[in-house]
Structure 1
């Protein structure tokens, strides 16, 4: 029962404003204000432990960014992770969705099993996989299995050539279940009559997949790819927990570099400059993909 009877006399617009105001306030405080402050700090030399010593530097941070080899290394790692994980994770999710699509006895167990990794915190999963990737054959599960089948142990997270790929494999395994459920919903929304009509016309399983399944799930696939791409661009937890950006900066991403500059080196001005460029990159990619989708 509503105690304040005046609420009952308000117009629908006032109700909307009343209930949306808290969300708008939080959005302003935790999204819009940080963007504005980051833009301002990018033109300053600002140490968060000595805010009184901050001073205006103009485009000094921006010039430094353009000549910073670590930034380009982090950008390259971020792009590599994004491209590979989108292909790997979404392909795995689509395959799993096709496998669990049929309503057979016990299929719910498999759906739950594939979705379960996502329920666990990515921090906990990263710590767990650090032990799995342990280079010591007596402690690392994967190296113990490699020795059992006659392969030499691998350094995994300790080798610059394999560290990022090891993180990609773990990340795809962790998140594929979530996208599997979205794709499964899309597959189940395709009318069975379309498959029956295609079968009557003589279309085999491959033609049904290409001409019924893919067109029917196209919009869902596009959505999943967009979500995966944006999430992959923000990669931070796995490198932070598993490799600390190493070895030899092979797993250092843009978000990790922003954290490092801002919170480890206390260089808020330079971290803000990287953040603004990172924001522009993500928005540009999102708008570009949206434009491509509209064209199609």
Structure 2
């Protein structure tokens, strides 16, 4: 039964990574009539002398450091709210989850319109009214300060519903007898949250944080559609730089080196996250 899964792992993960690893040690360029040569670690050395790639690494790390905890905290708050059994819970759960099923390309186009420059842009209009006229209209996606936070806001809005559904399922699996016993002992809502809810949600929280971290490092669609890495590399990412190197500049070997470094970075981050969170197994 495990053969199809192992075959998929081999064909779609191990084999592409091995191919990229081999190409990273060459000077292969698409369309070049010159023979392919073995260049050792030259491509990797060139990477870390490339300001664009270093900025892409920094942007990826910054994006993950902000989006993962904020999105997880917001998803937990929404899950706790929907778990109260209030009227309209099903409708709100559907509403919050709806952005998850929308294609990222469509979401990016919609938010590009929201971030439209000038006083008539939706976001500028909202901020002007919320600040009682103190806000000055900006071109968010062409501003080095606001471009990356704008993409972060989009990503949080689009992905929070996925985390919310998983955490809501975790909340609904917590035995009510635990809360009843805590109430009899005089525990308030805050104490129940800290000593019952969060410990019981440990495994779902670890899962959603791991998945969100991996997705955060894979940031590409929003950048490609909304900013194309600009302005001044303010929103460029490793995935975007790799695609540009491979298909725009036809530097396949350099792009392969980028993907190898990127894979090892994501693997290290997820391993460290896993190492320090200690996923607990449930005993039946």
Q: TM-score range by the shorter chain?
A: over 0.9
Residue 142, structure 1, aligned to residue 126, structure 2: no
* Contact kept in structure 1, 2:229 and 2:237, CA below 8 Å: yes
Matching residue within 18, 39, 47 for 1:65: 47
Partner residue, 1:192: 176
1:184 CA drift (Å)? 0.2
Moved over 6 A (4+): none
1:24 CA drift (Å)? 4.1
Partner residue, 1:279: 263
Q: Structure 2: which 5+ runs fail to align?
A: none
- Residue deviations 1:183-207 (CA, integer Å, cap 9, x gap): 0001111111111111111111111
The 5-angstrom pairing of residues 1-296 of structure 1 reads 16=1, 20-21=3-4, 23-50=5-32, 53-138=35-120, 140-148=121-129, 149-150=132-133, 151-294=135-278
Seen in structure 2, the aligned counterparts of structure 1 residues 270 and 218 have a Cα distance that, compared at 3 Å, is: same
* Contact kept in structure 2, 1:187 and 1:217, CA below 8 Å: yes
The TM-score, its normalising length taken from structure 1, stands at 0.89
Counterpart secondary structure, 1:55? coil
1:230 CA drift (Å)? 0.8
In the aligned structure 1, how far is the partner of 2:225 from the partner of 2:177?
49
Which structure has the larger Rg over C-alpha atoms?
1
1:147 CA drift (Å)? 3.0
- Higher deviation after alignment, 129-138 or 53-62: 53-62
Seen in structure 2, the aligned counterparts of structure 1 residues 52 and 272 have a Cα distance that, compared at 3 Å, is: same
In the aligned structure 2, how far is the partner of 1:94 from the partner of 1:168?
18
In the aligned structure 1, how far is the partner of 2:277 from the partner of 2:170?
18
- Paired residues in the alignment total 277
In the aligned structure 2, how far is the partner of 1:264 from the partner of 1:173?
31
Q: State the superposition RMSD in angstroms.
A: 1.7
The TM-score, its normalising length taken from structure 2, stands at 0.92
In the aligned structure 2, how far is the partner of 1:26 from the partner of 1:229?
23
1:295 CA drift (Å)? 8.7
In the aligned structure 2, how far is the partner of 1:294 from the partner of 1:36?
30
1:122 CA drift (Å)? 0.8
